[in-house]
Every structure is written in C-alpha cells, then in structure tokens.
Amino acid sequence: MDVVLDWLVQIMRAVGAPGVGVATALETVFPPVPSEVVLPLAGYTASLDHYSVVAAVVWATVGSVVGALLLYWAGAAWGAERVCVLADRLPLLHRRDVERSLDWFARHGRTAVLVGRVVPGVRSLVSIPAGVDRMPLPAFVGYTALGSLAWNALLVGAGYQLGARWHLVEGYVGSASRVIVVVLALAAAYGFWRLLHRHHQGGLAE
C-alpha cells in the first residue's frame, strides 16, 4: 500500500490537480486503496501549493464520477453474480464486499447511491447494484456527484488544514461518516416529504 500511495503522490505532484482526479478514479474502482487516505493526502499536497484546494475537490469529484461510471457499466454488463465471482479473484477484494453493496442498495433504493458515497466499504461498490438495476444514468451521475462532492470536500479540506498531520484524518472518518449519513438521510426524507405534499396539494386543487 505504501508503494501505491507513493505512486499516487508522484502523480498528484507531477500532473497537478488532474492527478487528484486520476488518483480518486483509481481508489473508486479499486476499493482496497482507501479514500480516507488518498483524499487527505491530496489536501496535504494542495497545502504545499502544488494546486489549489478547490481544484483538488473539483478534480476528485470528477474522478469519483468517472470511477463510479466504470463500476456502473460493469454491473449493467456482467450482472451481480459475475461481478461477485470476479471480486473473489482480485487481490484485497472479496465477494462479501460486493454483496454488502448489493444489500445496501436493496435496503435503501436509489438514495443509496447518494448516501452510500460517505459510507466506507460501500461508497465505491454501490455503483455496481445501481448498474445491475439499470438506474437511470442522469440520476446516477447526479447522486454520485453530489455525494462524492460532500465526501471529497470534507476529506480534502481536512488534509489541507492538518498539513503534515494529514494521516490523522483516517482515525476520524468513522464518526464523520455517520454524521453525514444522518444529515443526508434527513435531507432525502425531507425532499421526499415535500414531493408527497406537493402531489397531495395538486390532487386537492383538482
């Protein structure tokens, strides 16, 4: 893992902010490379003036969407079972990781794509059941971008503020993830309530 992280740092320093997008796309497609490490590291690199923190967040979000689309298309093309079989053949990845994302999607529906972006262990692979379910692509991209933006801004910003102590972020990710999940779930529930209320009001008007 240290070798991978060193390589990602070299990309970010050599290419600049687009390198953050490359690194984030890779960690999205290859979950054993944790975003809890990659994103704070990108923030720390930004603090060294290799690029701006805003550019880091933007490119990280672009990379997240690109990586998520690759997994979405894999789920759509191969189906859940074939992806599970493939996961068992890849190093540091297991069938149960994919099954966990399938279960998350089954319980939370399409909002899982939004909320799942801030849940370690689910955030990357939740794109697979979305592809299997053939979730409408505009909705998938929108939810992915929104959830990824919140997650990326939090972790890149933390790494930027902590500087050389960026590695401390990983220890706080669990608590922060739970808070963001609650906030996003409440926001989704409120949006759903507003939609039902508007529909009800329209029905009364008729």
What is the structure's pLDDT at 159? 82
Claim: this prediction has a pTM higher than 0.85:
no
Predicted confidence (pLDDT) at residue 202 exceeds the cutoff of 50? yes
Instruction: Summarize pLDDT for 52-86 with one digit per residue, the tens.
Output: 999 999 999 999 999 999 999 988 888 878 887 87
Half-sphere exposure of 204 (CA within 13 A, CB side): 6
Return the domain boundaries, the chain. Answer: 2-205
Instruction: Summarize pLDDT for 124-138 with one digit per residue, the tens.
Output: 788 888 888 888 999
Q: Are 39 and 60 in contact (CB under 8 A)?
A: yes
Share of residues in the chain with pLDDT > 70 (%): 72
Instruction: Summarize pLDDT for 139-153 with one digit per residue, the tens.
Output: 999 999 998 998 899
Burial class (CB in 10 A: 0-12, 13-18, 19+), 11: middle
Which residues 6+ apart lie within 8 Å of 4 measured at CB?
33
What is the structure's pLDDT at 204? 47
Q: Are 66 and 25 in contact (CB under 8 A)?
A: yes
